[in-house]
Amino acid sequence: MEKQYYQEYYELERKNWWFRVRNQILMERVAKLLKGKQNLKILNVGVATGSTSELLTQFGEVVSIEYDADCCEFAKEKTGLNIVQGSILELPFEDGSYDLVCAFDVIEHVKDDIKAVSELKRVCKSDGWVVVSVPAFMFLWSHHDVINHHYRRYTMSMLEEVFLKEKNGQIAYKSYFNSILFLPIASFRLVSEAIPKKWIRKGTGADNHVFPQESIVSKLLFQIFSMEKPLLKSGITFPFGVSAMLCWKMQK
């Protein structure tokens, strides 16, 4: 892909309302898990242009993995982060190398998600953490998923089942999120799917591109989605949402 595409995605990851709030929610959960621990060895898998890796540096030394070689080179040049080209299905690290292993909206991109999660666990230390987020509910499947090369969306029970294939730890935390906007987003996607594809302008279809970043609607969506942060931080979990997260505690 052209460098201009990666530049646009770089800006999207850092300015788009969904990315911004999602990343804040994920980092707050990581901070709660770590309970003040610092200087950790961290692996972040499927980093795209590196926004989550930049945020994870507050907890320690971050090594990032990106499958797309061109995106990997762009992100390294743009951010100065330690980004390695590689696959989640065959991580180029020894067993038990990292205190924290993250994969934010990644495992839905691979056919063998059981193998992917097994690899995340393999490179995690025996007392470490694996944290993932995924898109939720197959009935929300839309053109957005197609153009982002998703294989599936998850229910929480599906995600739990993938992690419980190997009895090497336990689920420490799980919740849906992006829940307040669930009904509007579900309605939007269902209506969008009913529109004949020939009526949709070429190059559109990803939810993230629907509203300009500085539009009033985007600012409103940011504020509404942000309302979930204090609720999740307080320990409240949501029974449904557009996304789901799961934290796995490795055990010896």
pLDDT in tens, 17-57: 999 999 999 999 999 999 999 999 999 999 999 999 999 99
DSSP codes of every residue in 97-111: -EEEEEEET-GGGSS
Query: Residue 166 belongs to what domain range?
Result: 3-250
End-to-end Cα spacing for the chain: 43
User: CB-based burial of residue 31 (10 Å sphere; 0-12 exposed, 13-18 middle, 19+ buried)?
Assistant: middle
User: Which one has a higher pLDDT value, 239 or 212?
Assistant: 239
User: What's 7's domain CATH number?
Assistant: 3.40.50.150
Q: Please determine, for residue 212, whether its predicted confidence score (pLDDT) is greater than 90.
A: no
Residue pair 131/177 in contact by the 8 Å Cβ criterion: no
Q: Mean pLDDT, to the nearest integer, of 212-222?
A: 88
- Name the nearest CA neighbour of 135 among 125, 147, 144: 144
Mean pLDDT of 5-21: 95
List all residues 6 or more positions away from 190 whose beta carbon is below 8 Å from its beta carbon. Answer: none
Q: Token match 């499958």: residue?
A: 67
Tens-digit pLDDT profile for residues 232-252: 999 999 999 999 999 999 997
The Cα 55–Cα 201 span in angstroms is: 35
pLDDT at 224 over 50: yes
d(CA 23, CA 56): 10
User: DSSP states of 104-161 as a string?
Assistant: ET-GGGSS-HHHHHHHHHHTEEEEEEEEEEEEB-GGG--HHHHHTT-S--B-HHHHHH
Q: Report the C-alpha gap between 20 and 229 in whole angstroms.
A: 12
Q: What is the pLDDT of residue 209?
A: 52
Distance CA 43, CA 41 (A): 7
pLDDT above 90 coverage of the chain, percent: 85
Q: What integer best gives the mean pLDDT of the chain?
A: 93
User: Distance (Å, rounded) from C-alpha 179 to C-alpha 219?
Assistant: 17
Tens of pLDDT, residue by residue over 129-169, are 999 999 999 999 998 899 999 999 999 999 999 999 999 99
What pLDDT, on a 0 to 100 scale, did the predictor assign at position 78? 96
Distance between CA 237 and CA 249 in Å, rounded?
18
Residue type at position 57: T
The pLDDT score that the predictor gives to residue 249 is 98
Output the pLDDT for position 102.
99
Does the structure show a pLDDT above 90 at 3? no
Which residue in the block uniquely carries the two structure tokens 């009904």?
Answer: 183
Contacts of 150 (CB under 8 A, 6+ apart): 108, 109, 135, 141
Domain count along the chain:
1
- In this prediction, residue 211 carries a pLDDT of 58
